[in-house]
């Protein structure tokens, strides 16, 4: 008996060891230790989407408050009045971030909390809140990566002069940035002036789906104001000049002492030609000029892409020589958000009925839905992201990039076992290793979103968070999803639970080989 049970135990041990080795060989293939020591991992949120306390302590509305309270053009129900209540729960949230092992937290400052009317007096309670949040982060060794404008322009400036449509925004934005650099710059070393400037111009001023809902009348949206043929271009122009003005201020007044970096964020659409015809290939290049070159050409070369100058003509604002040299070279890094890919089909200008930004592009878009991806999930397409980043490297040089957002969407109330999000993080983070080996200058990666927030396209119906918040629970308790366990294991170099590793493979619509490829 003794003999038998001994050999049985030995056998079990051996089996266990083999199992452990094979699991470890997969799990160990992906931990933070595989990355260069200074590569940052973080998570993102934005002020209106996470803070709540919208009417507290002197904060005044932004255009997002107005948009949400007006019923969002029927996109979703809800508003950010309470959101994730981070305004009151920031200490607990930073504790969760520290336990998770985040290197950095990307959040934004609510301009109308800090300076309620957009210009003029500073709100002492707003100043106090951001100081407390930043101090809490730094005391836990978590870097604060701060965005100044994340869709939420003070409503007062919108009412007074049309916000980004007017040149007057440049002066007010620069003064706001000055306050932030002066008050927080001793602790904040990564500033992003504007989030997704390209999408804000497109959705807010051409299509009119999102705040401030300005557009020309069309069958697609009911805007009471706006002009889709001119305003998207004006808005981007003023964002570029506001950024450049703030960057110049930072470099002349603060940089020597504070030693920080200043960047700009855009949404990186993956663009794929629908067919291999030269028309569609040229159209895809043109769409990339309109969506990305619109910002990158000015930042790198000091002027808009030729394709835009040709197609938009006199509706495209121009830079004076002085402005051109101010904008050129004004980013230390690019912040890049990545979710979707689109197929591009040529759609000649001659057949377009109107002059608007999306028509000027002269393309038709068709969403890339992935092969075998459930309709509700965002396809996981690291090769598209890598292709896009290589094309930016070819066109603009190998400047530093932070992936500011990647993420997966699920129903807000779905299971805490968010396998689709685990899979997405596993594959994207694994693929970053390939991208670094292939020479891309990526400095860090942030997951959208740290916890469930008020989503700009989905309200509280869908979410991207690593932590679930049940809006019906008055305490808004943060409940860890499986993705938070996965990220925490990865960040702390812990061998992952075998059940997780095997389930990732089982749940993955990506073959084992490509999964292995992505992780080795
Ligand atoms: C938009 O502005 C252009 C140029 O000023 C003008 O010709 C056009 O009529 C305007 N469109 C609308 C819808 O107001
Ligand atoms: C625009 O408003 C009208 C009147 O309220 C409504 O009937 C129509 O459905 C709306 N169109 C869109 C695209 O929201
Ligand atoms: C385009 O050509 C490439 C390379 O020849 C091929 O792999 C791809 O399937 C083609 N795509 C289409 C849409 O025909
Ligand atoms: C989750 O939310 C969706 C959409 O709001 C709803 O249809 C569904 O019944 C909800 N499921 C549960 C389990 O509450
Ligand atoms: C991965 O490989 C295992 C073992 O060979 C297999 O059981 C599993 O079905 C594979 N998964 C996928 C997604 O192909």
Residue 220 Cα, ligand 2 centroid: separation in angstroms?
A: 9
User: Over 60: is that where the pLDDT of 27 sits?
Assistant: no
Does the CB atom of residue 511 touch ligand 5 within 6 A? yes
Q: What is the pTM of this model?
A: 0.89
**Nearest atom of ligand 2 to the alpha carbon of 74:** 14
In whole angstroms, give the CA distance from residue 78 to residue 63.
15
Q: Whose CA is nearest to atom 12 of ligand 4?
A: 413
Distance from residue 216's CA to the centre of ligand 1 (Å): 8
Q: Among the atoms of ligand 1, which is closest to the Cα of residue 216?
A: 13
Segments making up each domain of the chain, as ranges: 2-518
- 276 CA to centre of ligand 3 in angstroms: 6
Percent of the chain scoring above 90 in pLDDT? 82
Question: Is residue 505 predicted with pLDDT exceeding 70?
Answer: no
Whether 302 has a pLDDT exceeding 60, the answer reads: yes
Higher pLDDT, 400 or 219: 400
Pocket test for ligand 2, best of 72, 222, 223, 224 (most atoms within 8 A of CB): 222
Q: How confident is the model at residue 28 (pLDDT cuts 50, 70, 90)?
A: very low
For residue 98, with 0-12 CB atoms within 10 Å meaning exposed, 13-18 middle and 19 or more buried, which class applies? middle
Q: What whole-number distance in Å separates Cα of residue 289 and Cα of residue 360?
A: 12
Question: 3-class DSSP state for residue 445?
Answer: strand
- Chain-centroid distance of CA 173 in Å reads 21
- Cβ neighbours, 10 Å, residue 139: 10
The one catalytic residue in 51, 158, 196, 200 is 196
How many A from CA of 106 to the centre of ligand 1?
Answer: 38
- Say if ligand 5 is within 6 A of residue 483 CB: no
pLDDT tens-digit map of 80-137:
999 999 999 999 999 999 999 999 999 999 999 999 999 999 999 999 999 999 999 9
The answer on pLDDT for 197 being more than 90 is yes
For the CA of 508, the closest atom of ligand 5 is 13
Stretch 446-472: mean pLDDT:
96
Residue 279 catalytic?
no
Superfamily of domain 2-518: Glycosidases (3.20.20.80)
CA of 442 to the centre of ligand 5 (A): 31
Q: Which residues pair with 40 in a beta bridge?
A: 444
User: Is residue 25's pLDDT more than 80?
Assistant: no
Residue 24 confidence (pLDDT): 37
User: Which residue carries 């007044």 as its tokens?
Assistant: 253
- Dump pLDDT digits (tens) for 186-196: 999 999 999 99
196 belongs to the catalytic site: yes
Interhelix angle 382-396/419-437, nearest 10 degrees: 30
The confidence score (pLDDT) of residue 502 equals 67
């Amino acid at each position: 008996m003794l003999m038998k049970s001994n050999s049985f135990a030995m056998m079990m041990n051996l089996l266990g060891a083999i199992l452990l080795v094979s699991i470890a060989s997969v799990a160990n293939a992906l931990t933070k230790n595989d990355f260069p020591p200074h590569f940052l991992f973080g998570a993102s949120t934005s002020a209106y989407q996470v803070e709540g306390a919208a009417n507290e302590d002197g904060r005044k509305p932004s255009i997002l408050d107005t948009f949400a309270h007006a019923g969002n053009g029927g996109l979703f129900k809800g508003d950010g009045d309470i959101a994730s209540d981070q305004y009151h729960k920031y200490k607990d949230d930073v504790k969760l971030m520290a336990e998770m092992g985040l290197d950095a937290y990307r959040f934004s400052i609510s301009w109308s909390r800090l300076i309620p009317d957009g210009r003029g007096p500073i709100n002492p309670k707003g100043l106090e809140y951001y100081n407390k949040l930043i101090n809490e982060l730094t005391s836990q060794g978590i870097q604060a990566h701060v965005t100044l404008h994340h869709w939420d322009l003070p409503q007062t400036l919108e009412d007074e002069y049309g916000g980004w449509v007017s040149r007057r925004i440049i002066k007010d934005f620069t003064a706001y940035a000055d306050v932030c650099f002066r008050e927080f710059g001793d602790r904040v070393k990564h500033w992003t002036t504007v989030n997704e400037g390209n999408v804000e111009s497109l959705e807010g001023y051409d299509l009119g789906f999102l705040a401030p809902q300005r557009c020309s009348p069309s069958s697609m949206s009911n805007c009471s104001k706006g002009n889709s043929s001119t305003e998207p271009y004006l808005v981007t122009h003023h964002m570029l000049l506001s950024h450049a003005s703030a960057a110049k201020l930072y470099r002349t007044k603060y940089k020597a002492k504070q030693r920080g970096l200043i960047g700009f964020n855009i949404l990186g659409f993956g663009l794929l030609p629908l067919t291999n015809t030269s028309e569609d290939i040229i159209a895809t290049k043109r769409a990339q000029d309109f969506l990305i070159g619109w910002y990158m050409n000015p930042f790198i070369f000091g002027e808009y892409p030729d394709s835009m100058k040709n197609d938009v003509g006199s509706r495209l604002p121009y830079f004076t020589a002085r402005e051109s040299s101010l904008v050129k070279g004004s980013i230390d890094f690019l912040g890049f958000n990545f979710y979707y890919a689109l197929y591009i089909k040529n759609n000649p200008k001659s057949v377009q009925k109107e002059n608007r930004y999306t028509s000027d592009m002269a393309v038709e878009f068709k969403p890339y839905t992935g092969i075998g991806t459930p309709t509700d999930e965002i396809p996981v397409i690291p090769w598209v992201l890598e292709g896009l980043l290589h094309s930016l490297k070819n066109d603009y040089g190998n400047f530093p990039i932070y992936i500011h957002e990647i993420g997966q969407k699920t129903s807000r109330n779905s299971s805490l076992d968010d396998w689709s999000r685990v899979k997405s993080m596993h594959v994207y983070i694994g693929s970053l290793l390939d991208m670094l080996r292939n020479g891309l200058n990526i400095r860090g990666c942030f997951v959208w979103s740290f916890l469930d927030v008020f989503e700009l396209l989905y309200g509280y119906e869908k979410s991207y968070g690593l932590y679930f918040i049940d809006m019906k629970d008055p305490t808004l308790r943060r409940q860890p999803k499986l993705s938070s366990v996965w990220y925490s294991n990865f960040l702390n170099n812990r061998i992952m639970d075998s059940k997780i590793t095997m389930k990732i493979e089982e749940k993955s619509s990506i073959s084992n080989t490509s999964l292995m490829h992505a992780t080795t």
